């Protein structure tokens, strides 16, 4: 080895410090890992806000038909799907970008809008996906306290100085399930500097829009507003990886350049097109969520557990302390039920449970009734 080679810094040493310092996202354990670890045939997985009814059968049929065509590259700009979404929502196709999940669009937006070292703003407890991708781009993040697990919109407006490149607002938020209203969004959009992009993440809109004061963000479109939505939650296509963004055509053009050229896959595009049309399947999931959420509230109330009313497909529960969370999580796992402890989300005393099928929820209620008094 020559002297120069010995002295050359390693690849790792050359990496930006902000990449080496990144904390990885810790997803819920995959089903197979849980089954293997606990020796179960069947696990009730209520850990990742997936659709308990699965995918729409029409989406599966449409995706299956595309399998043999996957030797070709897919349409890089998802023309058919964008046209379909535009028609339903009363938009133009050039206001839409489709990518491999809304997470991909979170990352693309950060890359498109911010330079390393620049600043973004969000609320404490906001969905971590944004923070992780921002860190990977060398962005700085300021977090505004969220009293009672709700975003403090006035405080966010006050903190949003013209040097803030992105104001990230997941609504409803994951993991808390709390939401801000149409009126609040309207005020915020009027007051935030035009140089700040308001990144409104509506991953759970299909569940939340049944609430009368949930924002109708499409009626508030302005140049510095970008809305993200996904097929992962209410549409049941999490594994296909497909989501979309709605914004000003000039912004959409930049995001289309910066996203991975051939995302999402052909099969994902076909699945999403079919799922978009299968409103019966979508409504079945939304109605199940509404009625089962009420049952959760009743049981949590009965057990004296503190929860945050949720606009999503999950419920956020505050426990006594981190040890209680640990014991509850372990006891539920031993009964074959996977929920989400929230330490890695910044809430060491809290858990999140995804609303499942009635029979999955019944089993969870029974388990909670057995475990909680022993904690």
215 binds ligand PLP (CB under 6 A): no
Tell me the closest approach of the beta carbon of residue 191 to ligand PLP, in angstroms.
23
* Total residues interacting with ligand PLP, rule: CB under 6 A: 14
**Which residue in 203, 274, 305, 350 binds ligand PLP (CB under 6 A)?**
203
**Which residue in 28, 139, 243, 285 binds ligand PLP (CB under 6 A)?**
243
**Which residue in 93, 102, 288, 289 binds ligand PLP (CB under 6 A)?**
102
* Other CB atoms within 10 A of residue 94 CB: 15
Tell me the closest approach of the beta carbon of residue 225 to ligand PLP, in angstroms.
16
Residue pair 81/276 in contact (Cβ under 8 Å)? The answer is yes
**Which residue in 51, 95, 109, 232 binds ligand PLP (CB under 6 A)?**
232
Question: What is the DSSP secondary-structure string of 130-152?
Answer: HHHHHHHTT-EEEEE--GGGS--
Residue pair 328/334 in contact (Cβ under 8 Å)? The answer is no
201 binds ligand PLP (CB under 6 A): yes
**Which residue in 28, 125, 139, 170 binds ligand PLP (CB under 6 A)?**
170
* Structure tokens given for 35: 């089954």
Q: Give backbone dihedrals phi and psi of 311, rounded to 5 degrees, phi first.
A: -100, 5
Q: Give backbone dihedrals phi and psi of 45, rounded to 5 degrees, phi first.
A: -100, 105
177 binds ligand PLP (CB under 6 A): no
- Residue nearest ligand PLP by beta-carbon distance: 101
Which is closer to ligand PLP, CB of 111 or CB of 335?
Answer: 111
Tell me the closest approach of the beta carbon of residue 184 to ligand PLP, in angstroms.
17
Residue pair 38/329 in contact (Cβ under 8 Å)? The answer is no
**Closest by Cα among 354, 344, 349 to 25:** 344
Q: Which long-range CB contacts under 8 A does 210-215 form with residues at least 24 apart?
A: 210/286, 210/290, 211/179, 211/311, 213/181, 213/182, 213/183, 214/179, 214/181, 214/182, 214/311, 215/171, 215/180, 215/181, 215/182, 215/184, 215/185, 215/186
Which is closer to ligand PLP, CB of 285 or CB of 367?
Answer: 285
Instruction: Please give the Cα distance from 106 to 6 (Å, whole number).
Output: 40
Tell me the closest approach of the beta carbon of residue 238 to ligand PLP, in angstroms.
5
Q: Name the one range near ligand PLP by CB under 6 A: 58-66, 95-103, 147-155, 212-220.
A: 95-103
**Which residue in 78, 93, 122, 174 binds ligand PLP (CB under 6 A)?**
174
Instruction: Please give the Cα distance from 137 to 130 (Å, whole number).
Output: 11
Q: Name the one range near ligand PLP by CB under 6 A: 59-67, 97-105, 159-167, 337-345.
A: 97-105
Site string (259-278) toward ligand PLP, x via CB under 6 A: --------------------
Radius of gyration of the chain (CA): 21
**Which residue in 52, 62, 93, 127 binds ligand PLP (CB under 6 A)?**
127
Instruction: Please give the Cα distance from 20 to 25 (Å, whole number).
Output: 14
Return residues touching ligand PLP (CB under 6 A): 49, 101-103, 127, 129, 170, 174, 201, 203, 230, 232, 238, 243
């Amino acid at each position: 080895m020559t002297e120069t080679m010995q002295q050359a810094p390693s690849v790792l040493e050359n990496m930006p410090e902000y990449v080496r310092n990144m904390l990885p996202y810790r997803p819920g354990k995959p089903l197979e890992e849980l089954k293997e670890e606990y020796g179960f045939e069947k696990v009730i997985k209520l850990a990742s806000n997936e659709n308990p009814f699965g995918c729409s059968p029409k989406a599966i049929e449409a995706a299956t038909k595309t399998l043999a065509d996957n030797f070709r590259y897919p349409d890089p700009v998802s023309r058919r799907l964008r046209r379909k979404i535009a028609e339903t929502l009363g938009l133009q196709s050039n206001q839409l970008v489709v990518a491999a999940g809304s997470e991909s669009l979170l990352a693309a937006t950060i890359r498109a809008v911010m330079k390393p070292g620049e600043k973004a703003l969000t609320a404490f407890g906001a969905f971590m996906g944004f923070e992780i991708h921002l860190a990977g781009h060398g962005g700085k993040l300021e977090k505004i306290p969220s009293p009672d697990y709700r975003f403090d919109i006035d405080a966010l407006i006050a903190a949003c100085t013209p040097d803030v490149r992105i104001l990230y607002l997941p609504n409803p938020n994951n993991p808390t399930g709390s939401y801000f209203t149409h009126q609040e969004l309207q005020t915020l959009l009027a007051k935030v500097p035009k140089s700040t992009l308001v990144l409104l993440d509506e991953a759970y809109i299909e569940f939340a829009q049944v609430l009368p004061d949930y924002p109708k963000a499409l009626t508030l479109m302005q140049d510095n507003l970008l809305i993200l939505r996904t097929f992962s939650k209410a549409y049941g296509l999490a594994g296909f990886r497909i989501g979309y963004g709605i914004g000003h055509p000039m912004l959409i053009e930049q995001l289309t350049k910066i996203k991975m050229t051939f995302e999402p896959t052909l099969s994902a595009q076909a699945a999403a097109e079919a799922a978009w049309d299968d409103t019966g399947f979508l409504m079945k999931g939304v109605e199940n969520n509404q009625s089962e959420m009420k049952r959760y509230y009743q049981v949590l109330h009965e057990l004296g557990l503190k929860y945050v009313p949720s606009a999503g497909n999950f419920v956020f529960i505050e426990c006594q302390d981190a040890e209680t969370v640990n014991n509850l999580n372990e006891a539920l796992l031993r009964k074959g039920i996977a929920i989400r402890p929230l330490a890695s989300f910044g809430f060491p005393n809290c858990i999140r449970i995804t609303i499942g099928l009635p029979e999955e929820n019944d089993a969870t209620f029974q388990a909670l009734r057995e475990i909680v008094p022993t904690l």
